[in-house]
Structures are given as C-alpha cells and as structure tokens.
Structure 1
Amino acid sequence: MDIQSERRRLLDEEDGDQDPPGLLSEQDAYLSKVKNRNLYLATLACVLGPLSFGFVLGYSSPAIPELSRIADPRLRLDAAQASWFGSIVTVGAAAGGLLGGWMVGRIGRKLTLMFCSLPFVSGFVVIIAARSVWMLYAGRLLTGLASGVTSLVVPLYISEMAHERVRGTLGSCVQLMVVLGIMGAYLAGLYLDWRWLAICSSVPPTLLMVCVCFVPETPRFLLSQGKRREAEQALRFLRGPDAPVEWECARIEDACDEQSASFQMSDLKDPGVYKPLVIGVMLMLFQQMTGINAIMFYAENIFERAHFKESDLASVIVGLIQVVFTGVAALIMDRAGRKILLIISGVAMAISTTAFGVYFYLMSGLPSRAGEEPHADLAWLALASMAVFITGFALGWGPIPWLVMSEIFPSKVRGVASAACVLTNWSMAFIVTKTFQDLMGLLTSAGTFWLFSSMCLLNVLFTVAFVPETKGKTLEQIEASFRGSSGPNIPHGRPEPV
C-alpha cells in the first residue's frame, strides 16, 4: 500500500470513529511503538542553548562585586554602571526575541538554533577582551541577543518534535538547563575571576553549534514547507524504527494544510489566535513581575544587604535548590499537570516574598532601637525565604510559561506569537532588573518584596481564571480547544485526501 492510500485509510478510520475513547486507544497504540532514545538525545543537544543562557544570567552575580572593586579604573563599575551591566542583557534578549520570531519562520528551527551560538561566543569574547565599560556592555548585549533567540526557539523546537506523553517533561528541561547554567556560573565564580568565568561560559554555546548539526529539523516545520519525505525521515529518527510514522505525519499534515496561509492581522479576530496570545503574553508578564530575574541578578547583593556573611556561598546554595526543584518539576509535569503546579508555585512565592519583606522590616528597625548592628539571629530567615521562593518558582512559574508558550499557538502564528511573548518577558525583565535598586531605595527593601508578593497573588488568580490545562493533549487538540472543539484536529473541516 502506498503512502497516499495508507493516509486515506487512516483518515477514513478516524472519520468513522465517533467514540473518543477509541481515538485515544489509537493514539496509545501508536505511542506504545515509539522509542524515545533519539528524541532524548536531540533534546540534550538543543538544551545546550538554555545552559548557555543560564551562564549569561548567572554571570553578573559573581562578576559585579569583583568589577566594582577592580583596580583598573577603565573597567571599574559604579552603582549605576553595575545596574546597567546586570540589566542590559534583557535589552538584547528582547531584540533577540523579535529576531528569533522572524528566523524560525524563514530558516527553520534547527538553523536558528545553530545561529544562537555565534552571538553567545562573540559576546563572551568581547567581555574577555574588554578594555572599557562600554566593551563590557557590548559583550552583555550580544549574549543577551543570543539568550532571546534561544528562549524562543528551544521551547518551540522541543514542543514540535516531542509527543504528548513526554512533551511536558522535555519542555521543562529548558528551565532545568537554565538553572544549571546559573548555578554553574555561581559555582565557578567562587574560584575564577571575571575573565576566566567568561571563558568558562563560552564552552556550552561552542558545544551547541557542534551538537545541533546532528539533530533533524522539526517534522511540523518540514511539513509546513511541503517536505513530506524529510518530515517522515525526521519522525522516523525521533520515534524509532517500529513506529508507523505515516499516521502521525498525516495528522500533522492536516493541521498544516489548514494553516498554509501566512499570518495576517485579521487573524487576531480568530479566538484560536487571540485567546492563546493573551494567555501567553500575560504568563510572561506575570513571570517577570514576581521579581525573579532581579533576585537572581543581584543574589549576592541581596544577601550582603541581609547581613548574611557568606553571600557568595548562599548564592550557590540558592542555585542548587533551583536545580533540584526544577528537576522535580520536570519529573512530575506530565502527571500533575501545568495548572496545579502554577497555583502551588504562586502561593509559595507569595508566602516567601512576604517573609523576606518581614525580615528586612525587622532588620531596619533593630539599629534604631538597640543602637547596634542588626543581629545575625534572623539571617536564617533571609536564606529560608529565598530558598522557598526559588523552590516555588522552579516548580511552576519558571518552566511552565515557556512550556505553555510552545504548546498553545497555531502553527501559522507560532513564530510571531512566540516573539510577542519573548519580547514581553524580556522587556519586563529589563524594567524589573533596571529599577530593582531604585525600588529598594524608594519603597525600602521590605516594601519591594511586599510588592513582589502582591504580584505573586495576582499570578494565582490569573491562573485559576484563565490558564488551560494542556497535559496529555496533542498540539492539534490544544489548538482545537481554543476554537471551541474537543476534536483532535483543527475544526474547519479536513481537505479530501488526494
């Protein structure tokens, strides 16, 4: 039987099956023949991008204190320059999100992923060779550009090549590798100066360029370009030799056929477009309004202000906690579901930032009352509050907004809509990180953390009211649900098989 005849037979069987459990059994029968080995290897290759991104985020925490004390006046950072050094990454990342949204549609997911390594390495080379503060800014801006492209393309790549049984787990690996990179930068910063730390940080993106050469383009992108044979080859690589990939290929192809037209502004009237777009943008907005990037960028400074003696070691402990609980989130993502983890995460962060605010409030009152330095008795509260915050963030609001972004958009707007989400995320990250020190002065340390706490409560309310559960659904089923259909395919009718 040829491919077209097989496709017609499968589609006819699907049309004749009106019983949802029967359809699910058909999916289960297919997935039972899938081997995930190559899928895991491909994921491991592409998450070197988020690992590089994590080193960029973590680099400023050990580097800023050292650059603030450096003997060379050309490189010494004052308070304002340190603020820019920490936050300018987000400016580059916002631009990278727009660039990545254009690139994934034009040259594909794989080539975009390979491109990411170039500004990563170039940026760290500029930092290593820096002879002025402006060179430090330029290097951070380049690594930020790469981070923005990476934060868009890697979740998209993983969601399009993974099947629904493991998509949540593999999608959570993006955030896991980011926090591994952050912890790696913190740990290396204990032993390396800022230049050697930059050299260390350039290793993961170099490996990324090499490893991505051996993974395929995503089947969905290939089918959207009319390359069915290449799509089947990619699926056969990802699903193993025993899986009847023609079945999955036909289902994806139908969705691509329905969305062959390019994105138009009039598409924003479609509930299947504007509903997921609003949800995706709001998830990114709320993620940054928790204050996570400000807290990670200035982790050592926060502990110094909290009078924690070993501030650099405390930052490493925080990074380790984030790695452990992001790994836990990855393991339970496809069992617990996205929505419940977001709610648990938001509540934990609200409690911890409230406690952190209380700590700073108590500490600010002690000197005026006792006439002495704040006691170290409550230093444990600072570390415990930070640990609970990072644990909560790692379980939900860290990985899930990126995962949901990669799941909910229709294929024809996936690049544009993902770019809007990434631009929102990094624009808010810039605003929060750039104004963090000013907020600490204006609202006091306690008031700033109480502001973050109120944002975490808003996160919870938004999740309960608007965020859908995507656990166990194919990308086509998720898309159909936004259009008011429970079917597995896009509910505008299916083109007749040729």
Structure 2
Amino acid sequence: MVPPVVKQTWAVSAVLINMFAQGMMLSYPSSLLPAIQAPDSDIKVDLNTASWLASVVGVAGIPGFLISSILMDWGGRKMAHAIVIIPGILGWLFIYLGANVTSLIIGRLLSGFTGGASVCLGAVVIGEYSSPKNRGTYLNLKTASVCLGGMMIHILGNFCHWRTVALLSLFPYIISLIITFTWPESPAWLVSRKEFDKSEQAFYWLRGHSDEAEKELYELIKAQKDKPTVIKNSSFNEKVVDFLKKFTRKDFVKPVVIIALSGLLIETSCRHIFPAYASQIIGEVTGNKSQSFYYTLAIDIIITTSAIFSSVLVKMYKRRTLLFVTGFSALFVLFSVCTYLYLVSKAIISNNYTWIPISLFVLYFIFANLGCTPIPLALLGEVLPLAHRGSGSALAGLVMSIAILVALKITPYLLESVKVYGTFTVFGSAMGLTLVVMYFILPETKDRTLQEIEDYFNYGRFKNDEKLNKDECEEDVKMKMIS
C-alpha cells in the first residue's frame, strides 16, 4: 500500500515542477535581453522595449490571477491547474519561433499568464492536498523550485542560444500537465460543492485514515454543513453584489491584506528583479562583466540551497519567528552593502575589494530566501478561508501582478540612474515598511489545519486553544450523532 505522504508528494510535484518552469520564465530576460541587445542580433530593441519584455509578464499575470480564481471555483483545482499550463506552453513556442519583437511580447504575455495563474492556484492546491505537518515544507519548496528554475536559465543562457533555451523551457510544463491528470479532485473543493462522499474518497486517498486525518475531515465537513448552500444560477449583478459584500467580512479582508502584503514583500526583497537582471547587477558590482556568469551561478546555488534549507527550518520554527528574524537580518545586510557601494562610487573607499559586496549580497539572499520569499508564498496556501479562495486569490493576485510589473519595469531605469546601491536602497526601504506592518497583523499558522486558520479569522482566536462554550459542545454532539 502506498503511504499517504508519497501520494501527497506525487500530487504536489506537479505544482513544484510548474514553479520550476515559472522560475525559468521570470529569469529568461537574463538570457534574452543581452542577446537581442547585441549589435549582431537579428531583432533590435532599445532600453524601453527591453524593459517591457522583462516586465510584461506582470501585465499578463493580472488576467492570469483572475481567470485561475474563476476556474478553481467553477471547475475545481485539478481542471484549473491543467488549463492554466497551456498558455505557458504556447508562450515558449511563440518565443522560440518569433521573428520580431511582437512575437516575443506575445510569448512573454502567454507565459506570464501561466506564471500569474499558477502562484495562488499552486499554493491553494498544496494547502488542500497536503497534511498540516507536510504543508509548510511543500509550500516552502515552491520557492526552492522557482530558484532552481532561475538557476537553470542562467546556466542554459550561458551555453545555448536564446531560442534553444525557450524550446527546452517547454518540457517542465508538459511534465507538470501529465502529472496533473493523475490527481484526484481537491477534497476541500468537493466539500464546498456539498459532494461529501467524493470528498471523503479523495481525502482518504491523500491522507489515509489516521486519527488526525479523521478529525480534520470531520471539522472540514462540519464547517461546510453549517453554511447555507450557494445559489449556483445567480445573475451577474448578484455575483458582483456578493463579491462587494465580502469587504464587510473580516474573514475576507484581513487574509487578503496579508496576502497582498506578502506579494509586496516578495517583490521588495528583490526576489524577481535579481534573476531577471542578474548579469547587469553583478557586472556593475564587480566591474567585470565577463565573469558575471560565474558570480551569478554561485549566488544562484546559494539562493537555491538556502530556499531548500528553509523547507527544513519551517518544520522546526514558527512561521513568524523565521520570517521576522531572517527578514530584519536581511534588511540590515542589504543596507550595509548599499552603504559600501555608495562609498565606493564616491571614491571614499577603494573599489579593489569586490569580494566584500559580493559576500554581502550572498548573505543577504541567504537571509531573504530563508524567510522573506518562502513564508509569503506559503501564506498564499494557508490564510484564505475556503469560501474566499477564488475571489481572494484574484484580488491579491491583482496586487501581486502590479507589484511585479512595477518592479521589473523600473529596475533598468533605476540601475541606469541611481546604480545598484540606489536601486536596492529603494526596494529595501519598501521591504522594511512591509515587514513592520506584517509584524502586527500576521497570525502563527504552523501545524494548524486550514479549518483552524479559517476559524481564527472568523472568531479572532484559534478555537482549539480555548474550551468550546456550551453551545459549541452541544453542536458537536449533534453532528457526531448525525454522522
């Protein structure tokens, strides 16, 4: 008999491979832009066009988030994950076959759509398909997968033509799509549709029949039985009104704010701008662009290793502890390296010791990838209540897409005008502000079931941390008698 953890890992592997492909998509400008900006390139671009080729994925991410949120509520997590992969496959084909800038833009838009659609959807899938004990590790491995994909692009881009890189980037999407077809449907989604028998079958296939699993399934079904049946044939206006009413509910507003801040934290910690502009950044810091590949590869390896290590730490330490300790430590290191580079630019100190800023950047990315990137991505699969996972993902995704668009769009201009130290100072300041706000509103989610986290946003506390009141006890007895 196959252990539940193996089945969970198999299902989650489709998401992780999709995230690997997303890392390739986000880092692809580091391979594409230097090649087409070269004098002998058959496709000519200026700085403005180059910045759009890098950042247009943020534009495409907006409809990606919106459509995936609709699909995951309407057709289920399995169907949604399969459908959103297809534009990514088409996008890489457009880039591989592209003969002009328009084809490249279309390709980046399509691949950006898949990238945006996969962020929240992938987190929701992991959250619903894995047990509370494994959920944190799987969610953190999303970050490691993205890092690994970025590193793969930097390696391929150094040895292969940019068209060959685009062709090779197809295969992770294809593999992820094949694995998705082997999934059962999400037990949580089936419960939300009042399909309790199918939900039990899918749940037991993924989790087994342990006492913890039985208790979690009971709480999940109980919570949904207590809710009124959703009217499926409501008009468009009724759906709009229902969506707007969500903004009066604390179990919607607070989780969405947390996820929006999480998206801002990811971007302001330079998670996406560094892979996209790695060669330019390292080239300026070292003053030797011919060696930038080796520096970039070394940092990629360290970033990926730290992201994987974070998947271990998340089982040992609380989410809040890991996030804020590593986050504020990363911020201190970042401002230190910015100060050093500023002093070098003013010729106050010598620029002969390039190992100092490189070492500080390495230390920064170690801290950042231990907490600031994986924890926010993990929260995407934890804090949204079941009833709001579609609409909440869409709204938070809109904020995240705008954040990545702005970050990737302004970075080349910042690098040209205020150099590396100024660019990272701008992003670091925003990162610090985001961390401070999150410190006051983020609950601890380690080893909590998704239902317990949902109860927290409804009642302002984790229900199992206090004795149930008399009415709740009586209701539990009734539910047990019914079951």
> TM exceeds 0.5?
yes
Give 5+ residue unaligned stretches, structure 1. 1-32
Partner residue in 1 for 2:236: none
Matches within 5 A, 1:109-188: 109-188=77-156
Partner residue in 1 for 2:262: 283
Provide, for residues 351-402 of structure 1, a one-character-per-residue CA deviation record: whole Å limited to 9, x for no partner: 2321332243133223xx89xxx84x22213322321222122111111112
Partner residue in 2 for 1:60: 29
**8 Å Cα contact 2:127-2:135 kept in structure 1:** yes
Partner residue in 1 for 2:317: 336
Q: 1:47 to 1:445 in 2, by over 3 A?
A: closer
Partner residue in 2 for 1:210: 178
2:460 maps to 1:484: yes
Q: Matches of 2:16 and 2:356 in 1, distance apart?
A: 34
DSSP 3-state at the match of 1:277 = helix
Q: Matches of 2:392 and 2:278 in 1, distance apart?
A: 32
Partner residue in 2 for 1:305: 284
What amino acid is the match of 1:342? Answer: L
What amino acid is the match of 2:270? Answer: G
DSSP 3-state at the match of 1:199 = helix
**8 Å Cα contact 1:474-1:488 kept in structure 2:** no
Q: Matches of 1:436 and 1:485 in 2, distance apart?
A: 41
Tell me the CA shift for residue 313 of structure 1.
1.8
2:299 maps to 1:324: no
Provide, for residues 266-290 of structure 1, a one-character-per-residue CA deviation record: whole Å limited to 9, x for no partner: 2322222222222221222233223
Residue of structure 2 aligned with 1:475, choices 439, 447, 450: 450
Residue of structure 2 aligned with 1:71, choices 34, 37, 40: 40
DSSP 3-state at the match of 2:133 = coil
**8 Å Cα contact 1:85-1:137 kept in structure 2:** yes
Matches within 5 A, 1:237-316: 237-240=205-208, 247-260=215-228, 264-306=243-285, 307-309=287-289, 310-316=291-297
DSSP 3-state at the match of 2:132 = coil
Partner residue in 1 for 2:237: none
**8 Å Cα contact 1:285-1:425 kept in structure 2:** yes
Q: 1:270 to 1:390 in 2, by over 3 A?
A: same
What amino acid is the match of 1:305? Answer: E
**8 Å Cα contact 1:97-1:148 kept in structure 2:** yes
Task: Give me the CA root mean square deviation.
Answer: 2.4
**8 Å Cα contact 2:265-2:435 kept in structure 1:** no
Matches within 5 A, 1:320-399: 320-366=301-347, 375=351, 377-399=352-374
Partner residue in 1 for 2:239: none
Provide, for residues 221-280 of structure 1, a one-character-per-residue CA deviation record: whole Å limited to 9, x for no partner: 011112222212212211236678654332211222344555542232222222222222
**8 Å Cα contact 2:91-2:111 kept in structure 1:** yes
Q: Matches of 1:324 and 1:87 in 2, distance apart?
A: 27
Which range moves more in the overlay, 94-103 or 258-267? 258-267
TM-score, with structure 2 as normaliser: 0.89
Which range moves more in the overlay, 138-147 or 275-284? 275-284
Partner residue in 1 for 2:377: 402
Q: Matches of 2:395 and 2:229 in 1, distance apart?
A: 20
Partner residue in 1 for 2:234: none
Q: Percent same amino acid among aligned pairs?
A: 24
Q: Matches of 1:193 and 1:246 in 2, distance apart?
A: 53
Tell me the CA shift for residue 70 of structure 1.
5.6
Q: Matches of 1:346 and 1:485 in 2, distance apart?
A: 26
Q: 1:264 to 1:257 in 2, by over 3 A?
A: farther
Q: 1:474 to 1:246 in 2, by over 3 A?
A: closer
DSSP 3-state at the match of 2:159 = coil
Partner residue in 2 for 1:28: none
Q: Matches of 1:410 and 1:244 in 2, distance apart?
A: 20
**8 Å Cα contact 1:36-1:240 kept in structure 2:** no
Partner residue in 2 for 1:226: 194
TM-score, with structure 1 as normaliser: 0.86
Q: Matches of 2:356 and 2:227 in 1, distance apart?
A: 53
Which range moves more in the overlay, 106-115 or 477-486? 477-486
Tell me the CA shift for residue 192 of structure 1.
0.9
Q: Matches of 2:212 and 2:450 in 1, distance apart?
A: 19
Tell me the CA shift for residue 296 of structure 1.
2.1
Tell me the CA shift for residue 145 of structure 1.
0.1
Partner residue in 1 for 2:7: 38
DSSP 3-state at the match of 1:472 = coil
Give 5+ residue unaligned stretches, structure 2. 231-241
